[in-house]
Amino acid sequence: MSIEVKTRPLWPAALILAILLLLAIWIRASQGEPDDAVCVDLSDECDEEAGAGGMTMMRAAAFVPGGGGLFVPESSPAPTDVANPVSDGTPDNRLTIIVYDHRADKVIQMDFEEYVYRVTASEMPAGREVEALKAQAVAARTYAVRRMQGGGCGRGGADVCTDSGHCQAYHDAETLRANWGDKADEKEARVRGAVEATRGLIIEYQGQPINALFHASSGGHTENVENVYSEALPYLRGVDSPGEDDYAGYRSERGFTDGEFRTIADRLNLKLSDKPLSEQVRVETLTDAGQVAVLRVGEGALTGRQVRKAFGLRSQCFDVSFEDGKVVFSVRGFGHGVGMSQNGADAMARAGSDFCAIIAHYYTGVEIVGMARVWAAA
């Protein structure tokens, strides 16, 4: 007895499978999973042109501002708040960052490491020790990654902007070379070498990119972050920063006549009597780092940060004296004093420290890791 096997056309099943496959792909894309081309392994098995620390080249990948994940521009629409960013011609296999150029009022999508180079060259003199430049590059890269993960800088819908008062200092490559003049080739090679040597490396604390604050000069001791800003962070603690007084600009001075000082105090709604200012103005408290915490002015008081802003001082580390009818602020350092001191980093490098030791000194209890680890955890 034979069994008759009845065959049926295969195309309906194939069509159903194709529809299901397309549906699965659509669901995965809508969930914002990273592209398969992103290598997240820190081992040597990551063979997609892995750089220092396991950073790999990603196929035209960048963070969506506000999205917290990776997107692939050629297959995803541009974010609604980033209207057609101008591409700088970055190859499709490189990580990009979206930058708002506040000078030109335009949004640019550019190579991430090129951005790090331009920030490093803008933030630190190219003639500094190479290990200090490396530390600066890692800090700048970390700052950018934290901005990208946190939803961008809020300007132009971009990840970061070029305004140093809001994000990090930034100049385009042509401006940098023009500023360097005859030594442009030498200085560009020096900074690019530092950036390339640390490619993909960032600073983490307990698995998250840190708020990698830095400044020009601390005045000899960096500050606990909560004494300058509102939030205490375990990795931004004050530390000694020796060797800074050897650098130009470490000390500065600003003087104000009686009338000038009273005018500024009046704008700040601080009441002063007719008594001499020497009897009404005094430093009331200092932080452990030696920065001014409170300056008493007449019946009121200002924080050191408020004094710095109101009187245009280079830092909050200052003494007050009264000379020839003027109120004189004698200032040490330059900047907010939190995190890495750039002059201190250079002094450490000159004394033989490498960039890892510099970072470990200024950022308490941190790790230096490859960016791929951050992408994997996102």
**pLDDT tens column, 191-207:** 999 999 999 999 999 99
Q: Which helix (H) or strand (E) holds 340?
A: strand 340-341
| Tokens read off for 92 | 């499709």
Q: Is 39 exposed, middle or buried (0-12, 13-18, 19+ CB in 10 A)?
A: buried
Give the pLDDT confidence score for residue 20 in this predicted structure. Answer: 53
| Tokens read off for 202 | 């960032």
Mean pLDDT for the stretch of residues 11-33: 47
CA distance readout (Å), 179 to 119, 133, 161, 164: 14, 18, 21, 17
Phi, then psi, of 368 in degrees rounded to 5: -105, 120
Residue 15 predicted with pLDDT over 60? no
Q: What is the pLDDT of residues 101-133, one digit of tens each?
A: 999 999 999 999 999 999 999 999 999 999 999
| Tokens read off for 144 | 């950018």
Give the pLDDT confidence score for residue 298 in this predicted structure. Answer: 96
Q: What is d(CA 52, CA 370) in angstroms, rounded to the nearest whole number? A: 7
Q: What is the pLDDT of residues 141-172, one digit of tens each?
A: 999 999 999 888 888 889 999 998 889 999 99
- Whole-number mean pLDDT of the chain? 80
Q: What is d(CA 84, CA 281) in angstroms, rounded to the nearest whole number? A: 54
Looking at residue 220, its amino acid is G
Beta strands 208-209 and 201-205, pairing class: antiparallel
Give the pLDDT confidence score for residue 129 in this predicted structure. Answer: 98
Q: What is d(CA 284, CA 52) in angstroms, rounded to the nearest whole number? A: 49
Phi, then psi, of 321 in degrees rounded to 5: -135, 170
Q: Which helix (H) or strand (E) holds 347?
A: helix 342-350
Starting at the edge strand found earlier in the chain, the sheet holding 208-209 runs 208-209, 201-205, 367-370
Q: What is d(CA 64, CA 71) in angstroms, rounded to the nearest whole number? A: 6
- In the chain, how long is the greatest CA-to-CA distance? 124
Q: What percent of the chain has pLDDT over 70?
A: 74
Give the pLDDT confidence score for residue 157 in this predicted structure. Answer: 87
Q: What is the pLDDT of residues 327-374, one digit of tens each?
A: 999 999 999 999 999 999 999 999 999 999 999 999 999 999 998 766
Beta bridge partners of 319: 330
Q: What is d(CA 333, CA 215) in angstroms, rounded to the nearest whole number? A: 9
Domain boundaries, the chain: 52-219+338-377, 251-332
Looking at residue 70, its amino acid is L
CB distance 264 to 295 below 8 Å: no
Q: Is 299 exposed, middle or buried (0-12, 13-18, 19+ CB in 10 A)?
A: exposed
- State the Rg of the chain over Cα: 27
Least confident of 15-24, 208-217, 233-242: 15-24
Question: Smallest Cα–Cα separation from 219: which of 202, 244, 198, 236?
Answer: 244
Question: Smallest Cα–Cα separation from 308: which of 337, 288, 284?
Answer: 337
Residue 59 predicted with pLDDT over 70? no
